[in-house]
């Protein structure tokens, strides 16, 4: 959609046929009800053959509600009509289809039944309404875009330091004809289900429409990319209309997509986004990627009414990475989560924590290299071949800041392209269980064959899963499953395959500090002793002040002492009141025990409780005391012990010793 001095025009549309009967939209519904509506629209309701087609559709689909709603007489009548229609329509069905096809071809002057001229006026808003979200609903179709209008000074963006250059597109070599472009508008037509309409169009605008439109604005500003492509499009149309007047539509669209990079990126974007894939678009010889993120990683089990893709990954790790931009949280409106774009996050320091995690490839390395079209000797290809899910990202980066910056870019791209996933490094000393979201009822039988082909020497997939989550005992370290050292690498590869396909997740350990009534009473006694000592010192000071011989100064000092005494007595009374009212923010369990939910931000009273435990009750050694206060902030039931082992560089033996010493004062929970 463009606007020149001649007025608004539709320069190119895709798919080619957008007549009234087509439903080429970004979110084409595929449920049975919509399929029936489409069938009923494509046939004449008064036509006997059309009715038979409708009946045939309903009868052939056993999942359709109307399949079960007909009486025996109606079903027999339907079958008779269908058989009769088949015989009668043998000679004329072909002519009817040709007639309908010619009608569609003749309907190229309309888009979804709307006259092009009228639609052009609707999709070309005034300049004041441009450079912002545009949305209009006509019938059941939503037309959405971000129209970009040229400013009075000839620029396409405000506050630009340099005027746009009058360069040409070297790839297309456009003719000398000029198009005075005032506005361009890349319009997407959507038809989402009514119940999902709001967040579907929001995410479509946020992730695809706005970003692609702004990239086109930048290329138009710097290189007049859109103007040059519009010239090329009209030149090709003029050339083909004179050389091949017959079969013009097919040849025209083939030539436009082949020779115009703008037409090609529009068609590629439609084909990819409509299939929930990533659109890798070449814009002025630069590769840009656009997608609507798909939620495949959960930190808790979704509600039964919330759909999710089979094999989605379930782990509390995703909650830690929520603001890192390195998980596919997707569908931000539905799940009430926020996301950070790749551009924003690459400028933050959140990646410093991510280097402790590992990268799990979701496909074969060579397949990924081919899919992303990387050269075999490129740094990206070499990095992909080095990825090992048992090693943290930091080992790949080393200590060279230049390497870290490069690997950071590689990691973001692989996760964004859905080629890799961030996980905790796979270890034989970790515990793994069958995921509650495992696709057992959906793809187990199919995956049994895949698993056997990939790992022929290992137990079958069902037996492997049974060993991970047995009914007779608690899950054990993964090392207990490995028969010998020679089998270690194969078993780890199989474990990575199971995690990749959503069958297995890591069992992690979470702890809270528990304060018993005994600890509370001892701290309260300490407060009472301190209050008594304060009162004793105050009384002694009062006696000393009263024994002064200087009569002229004695009266003044006496007044000061009385004021100090009153203040001290007030402080003691306030302290005693606080002792009866102060406590943690949340108390769980009975009145005799308290769980500190956030020890990293403990109150003064909570700190006294903690010190009483480690210094007097447990009497930790200096070595363990250092480790305790180092790990104290992680004892909140949110950060797993497995995570802090990675981040704080604490050995498992040291952690085990500490937990044994304070086991009477902690609550332990294990889950994903």
pLDDT at residue 471 in the model? 83
| Mean pLDDT score, 81-85 | 59
Distance CA 669, CA 510 (A): 5
pLDDT of residue 48 exceeding 50, the answer is no
| Mean pLDDT score, 26-45 | 37
pLDDT at residue 81 in the model? 61
pLDDT at residue 463 in the model? 94
Helices (H), 582-651: 604-611, 622-631, 641-647
Distance CA 352, CA 613 (A): 33
CA neighbor of 346 nearest in space, from 403, 290, 407, 387: 407
DSSP 506: E
Those residues whose C-beta lies under 8 Å from the C-beta of residue 359, and which sit 6 or more positions away, are: 387, 389, 393, 411, 414, 420, 421, 422, 423
Q: Which residue has the higher pLDDT, 376 or 391?
A: 391
| Mean pLDDT score, 139-147 | 90
pLDDT of residue 42 exceeding 80, the answer is no
Q: Name the band, by pLDDT with cuts 50, 70 and 90, for residue 85.
A: low
HSE at residue 388, side-chain half, CA atoms within 13 A, is 11
Measure the CA angle with vertex 203, ends 202 and 209; round to 5°. 90
Q: Name the band, by pLDDT with cuts 50, 70 and 90, for residue 318.
A: confident
Distance CA 90, CA 168 (A): 57
- Three-class DSSP category at 474: coil
| Mean pLDDT score, 222-233 | 91
Q: Where are the domains of the chain?
A: 2-9+112-290, 32-108, 297-423, 431-502, 515-671
Distance CA 99, CA 93 (A): 10
pLDDT at residue 29 in the model? 35
pLDDT of residue 147 exceeding 80, the answer is yes
Asked if 320 and 643 count as a contact pair (C-beta separation under 8 A), the reply is yes
Q: Name the band, by pLDDT with cuts 50, 70 and 90, for residue 553.
A: low
pLDDT at residue 3 in the model? 84
Tens digits of residue pLDDT in 405-436: 888 889 988 988 889 999 999 999 999 999 99
pLDDT of residue 600 exceeding 50, the answer is yes
pTM exceeding the 0.75 threshold for the entire prediction: no
pLDDT of residue 308 exceeding 60, the answer is yes
Distance CA 230, CA 556 (A): 95
Asked if 429 and 390 count as a contact pair (C-beta separation under 8 A), the reply is no
pLDDT at residue 544 in the model? 67
Tens digits of residue pLDDT in 470-524: 888 888 999 999 999 999 999 999 999 999 999 999 999 999 999 988 888 888 8
Tens digits of residue pLDDT in 395-407: 887 666 667 888 8
Q: H-helix or E-strand containing 145?
A: strand 141-145
pLDDT of residue 338 exceeding 50, the answer is no
Distance CA 337, CA 116 (A): 40
């Amino acid at each position: 959609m463009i606007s020149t001095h001649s007025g608004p025009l539709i320069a190119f549309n895709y798919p080619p046929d957008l007549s009234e009967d087509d439903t080429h939209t970004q979110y084409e519904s595929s449920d049975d009800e919509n399929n029936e509506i489409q069938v009923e629209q494509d046939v004449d309701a008064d036509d006997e053959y059309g009715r038979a087609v409708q009946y045939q559709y309903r009868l052939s689909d056993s999942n359709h509600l109307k399949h079960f709603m007909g009486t025996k007489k109606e079903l027999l009548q339907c079958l008779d009509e269908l058989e009769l229609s088949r015989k009668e329509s043998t000679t004329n069905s072909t002519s009817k289809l040709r007639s309908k096809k010619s009608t569609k071809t003749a309907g190229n002057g309309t888009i979804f039944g709307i006259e092009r001229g009228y639609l052009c006026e609707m999709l070309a808003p005034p300049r004041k309404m441009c450079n912002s979200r545009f949305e209009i609903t006509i019938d059941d179709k939503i037309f959405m875009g971000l129209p970009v209008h040229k400013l009075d000074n000839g620029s396409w963006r405000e506050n630009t330091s340099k005027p746009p250059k009058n360069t040409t597109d070297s790839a297309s070599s456009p003719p000398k004809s000029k198009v005075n472009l005032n506005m361009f508008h890349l319009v997407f037509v959507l038809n989402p289900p009514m119940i999902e309409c709001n967040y579907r169009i929001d995410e479509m605008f946020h992730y695809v429409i706005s970003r692609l439109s702004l990239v086109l604005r930048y290329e138009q500003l710097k290189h007049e990319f859109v103007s040059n492509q519009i010239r090329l499009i009209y030149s090709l149309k003029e050339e083909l209309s004179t050389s091949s007047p017959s079969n013009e539509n097919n040849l025209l669209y083939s030539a436009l997509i082949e020779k115009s990079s703008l037409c090609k990126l529009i068609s590629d974007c439609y084909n990819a986004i409509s299939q929930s894939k990533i659109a890798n678009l070449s814009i002025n010889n630069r590769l840009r990627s656009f997608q609507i993120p798909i939620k495949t990683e959960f930190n808790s089990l979704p509600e039964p009414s919330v759909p999710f893709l089979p094999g989605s990954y379930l782990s509390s790790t995703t909650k830690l990475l929520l603001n890192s931009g390195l998980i596919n949280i997707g569908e931000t409106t539905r799940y009430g989560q926020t996301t950070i774009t790749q551009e924003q996050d690459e400028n933050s320091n959140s990646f410093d924590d991510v280097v402790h995690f590992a990268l799990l490839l979701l496909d074969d390395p060579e397949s990924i290299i081919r899919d992303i079209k990387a050269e075999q000797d490129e740094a990206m290809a070499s990095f992909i071949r080095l990825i090992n899910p048992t090693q943290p990202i930091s080992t790949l980066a080393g200590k060279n800041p230049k390497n870290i910056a490069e690997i950071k870019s590689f990691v973001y791209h692989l996760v964004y392209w859905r080629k890799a996933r961030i996980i905790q490094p796979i270890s034989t000393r970790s515990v793994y269980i069958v995921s509650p979201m495992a696709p057992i009822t959906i793809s187990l039988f199919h995956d049994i064959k895949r698993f056997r082909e990939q790992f022929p020497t290992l137990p079958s997939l069902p037996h492997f899963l049974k060993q991970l989550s047995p009914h007779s005992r608690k899950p054990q370290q993964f090392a207990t499953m490995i028969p010998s050292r020679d089998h270690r690498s194969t078993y780890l590869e199989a474990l990575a395959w199971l995690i990749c396909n959503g069958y297995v997740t890591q069992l992690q350990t979470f702890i809270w500090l528990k304060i018993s009534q005994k600890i509370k009473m001892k701290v309260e006694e300490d407060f009472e002793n301190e209050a008594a000592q304060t009162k004793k010192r105050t009384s002694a000071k009062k006696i000393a002040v009263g024994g002064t011989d200087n009569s002229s100064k004695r009266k003044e000092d006496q007044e000061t002492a009385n004021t100090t005494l009153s203040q001290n007595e007030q402080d003691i009374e306030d302290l005693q009141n606080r002792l009866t009212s102060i406590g943690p923010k949340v108390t769980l369990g009975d009145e005799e025990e308290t769980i500190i939910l956030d020890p990293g931000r403990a109150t003064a009273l909570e700190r006294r409780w903690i010190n009483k435990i480690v210094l007097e009750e447990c009497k930790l050694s200096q070595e363990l005391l250092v480790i305790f206060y180092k790990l104290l902030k992680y004892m909140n039931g949110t950060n797993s012990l497995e995570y802090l082992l990675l981040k704080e560089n604490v050995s498992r033996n040291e952690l085990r010793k500490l937990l044994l010493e304070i086991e009477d004062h902690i609550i332990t929970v294990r889950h994903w």
